[in-house]
Amino acid sequence: MPELPEVQTTVNGLKKKVLNRAFVDVWTDTKKIIKKPKFSEFKKRIKNKKIKNIKRQGKNIILNLSGYYSLLIHLKMTGHLLYNNWQKDKMNSFIRVKFFLDNNKILALCDLRKFAKIELHKTPDLKLDLGPDPLDKSFTFSRFKKVLRKGRIKQVLMDQKVIAGIGNIYSDEILWQAKANPFKNTRELSEKELKNIYLAAKKILKKALKLGGTSVSDYRNVQGRKGSFEKELKVYRKQGQKCPRCTAVIKREKIGQRSCHFCPKCQKLNLKTIN
């Protein structure tokens, strides 16, 4: 699933391509992706709306439109947005929605598994229940400590109501960078461990954003190209390989319903006690 770096990379790309453009028409072969309103009404309302601003909230892309409307796009598991003459790639061939623009260009939603969602709201009515953004200047170490809830730190980092934008990839990488046990309860973490996690989150997310995100499978930017952070991954999907820091074998276990990749030596895990 695209996380903060991938979604922000998409937003940055869209700002260069579609800002101040207007929608002329829309097509879809997968109407269930248009969650609100039903497609026939959506098609009427979106017509001639001009894109005034584009921003990210957590993993959501928000296009503020003329007429006090906002278009919300959540890419979910396998979605990404493409702008006109995008690079040919197998993962860019699953086009589900096309927005036709007033410059005769196309903004398309590509989604292999058809889980993405698009909603059109009146701007004052669009309210998202999200935690603070980890790259916001106001996200200080003090605020980080205040928002943490009780639970295993890996799961807490991925809770969008606690911190917005972190998912499976970056929680694994952040905790490895911080040498933190992903199964440890937040209430058991020391001040030093918390500070290391906070600093690692800032460092990893900024670097991933600089490199255009991670494309381990299907993510592509608006030009249809892969992000480069995959080359920087230390533990995510590296089970069975040697830890680049200590050479212990990287492991993969489940936390809840999600996979967790970690170095048992660096992150001080007792594999007999994690479940």
17-73 pLDDT per residue, tens: 999 999 999 999 999 999 999 999 999 999 999 999 999 999 999 999 999 999 999
Q: Catalytic residue at 88?
A: no
Is residue 5 within 8 A of residue 80, CB to CB? The reply is no
pLDDT of residue 275: 57
Distances in whole angstroms, Cα of residue 99 to Cα of each of 78, 93, 188, 190, 231: 19, 16, 49, 50, 33
DSSP lists the bridge partners of residue 51 as 65
Question: Tokens standing for 215?
Answer: 């494309």
- Domains in the chain, please, with CATH? 4-125 (3.20.190.10), 141-262 (1.10.8.50)
pLDDT of residue 182: 98
Is residue 182 within 8 A of residue 152, CB to CB? The reply is yes
Q: Where are the beta strands (DSSP E) in the chain?
A: 23-28, 34-36, 51-57, 60-65, 69-74, 79-83, 95-101, 106-111, 117-122, 251-255, 258-262
pLDDT of residue 274: 64
pLDDT of residue 269: 86
Q: Which of 2, 132, 134, 182 is catalytic?
A: 2
Q: Catalytic residue at 59?
A: yes
Q: Which of 49, 59, 96, 184 is catalytic?
A: 59
Q: Catalytic residue at 265?
A: no
Name residue 97's amino acid: V
Helix, strand, or coil here: 254? strand
Q: Catalytic residue at 258?
A: yes
pLDDT of residue 270: 75
What is the helix (H) or strand (E) element at residue 42, kind and residue range? helix 39-46
Q: Which of 16, 47, 206, 258 is catalytic?
A: 258
Angle at 164 between CA 163 and CA 168, to 5 degrees: 90
In the chain, which residues have pLDDT < 50? none
